[in-house]
Amino acid sequence: MNTLSQILVLAISAIFIQNFVLSRFLGLCPYLGVSTKMDSAFGMGMAVIFVMTMASAFCSLIYKYLLVPYNLTYLSTLAFILTIAALVQFVEMFILKNAPSLYKALGVYLPLITTNCAVLGVAILNITPLPDGSTYNFLFATLNGFFSGVGFTFVLLVMAAIRERLALVDLPKSMHGFAHGMILAGTMALAFSGFVGLKI
């Protein structure tokens, strides 16, 4: 396979087959919390794509040039948390100064994502050996982060759209809010499990 088709496979796998929310069950907190309105879901999604891509790139570098040479791979979780937290803080300060309009769109969501398990998850998954024993290189790790973020945003938007439409449904009071969201999430996960059969 050439690089382009490998990237396509990576994209389909990260967005549909190995979707972060619905098949890896990571990032469930924002998935249920920020999915009541399309606008905020979109903002959150964009912030997640941004942070996941950056975190994948930086953690991949840290892993390759700092952890592997000194046999410290068992400390990767610790090192990644440190890297992601510092990175998000730095990026927040940077865009507050240099791109105030971008900060207005993403600013509220950035601190929420600092400790999001999906972001740490993508960094850890990038260094986890694939079935054939290889790991992602820098380019593929970054792309994996990006496409995983896209997959997260995709299901977050679908969820928000469903919840917006179902806001008017006559439900028993006990089923409102979280209970209703859980049933929706389960149904969506069931639908997404169909993608597992996709052979690429």
State the helix-helix crossing angle for 138-166 and 38-62, rounded to 10 degrees. Answer: 160
The single-letter code of the amino acid at 180 is: H
Residues 18-47 that bind other proteins (CB under 8 A): none
Site size for other proteins (CB under 8 A) = 23
Q: Which of 38, 138, 157, 164 binds other proteins (CB under 8 A)?
A: 164
Give dist(CA 28, CA 20) in Å, integer. Answer: 9
Q: Which is nearer to other proteins, 132 or 170 (CB)?
A: 170
Q: Which is nearer to other proteins, 19 or 35 (CB)?
A: 35
Residues 86-105 that bind other proteins (CB under 8 A): 86, 89-90, 93-94, 96-98, 104
Q: Which of 11, 12, 38, 66 binds other proteins (CB under 8 A)?
A: 66
HSE, side-chain direction, 13 A CA sphere, residue 91:
23
- Angle at alpha carbon of residue 110, lines to 180 and 123, rounded to 5°: 90
- Does the footprint of other proteins cover residue 68 (CB under 8 A)? no
Q: Which of 8, 9, 29, 72 binds other proteins (CB under 8 A)?
A: 72
Unique residue bearing structure tokens 């990237």: 7
Give dist(CA 65, CA 16) in Å, integer. Answer: 31
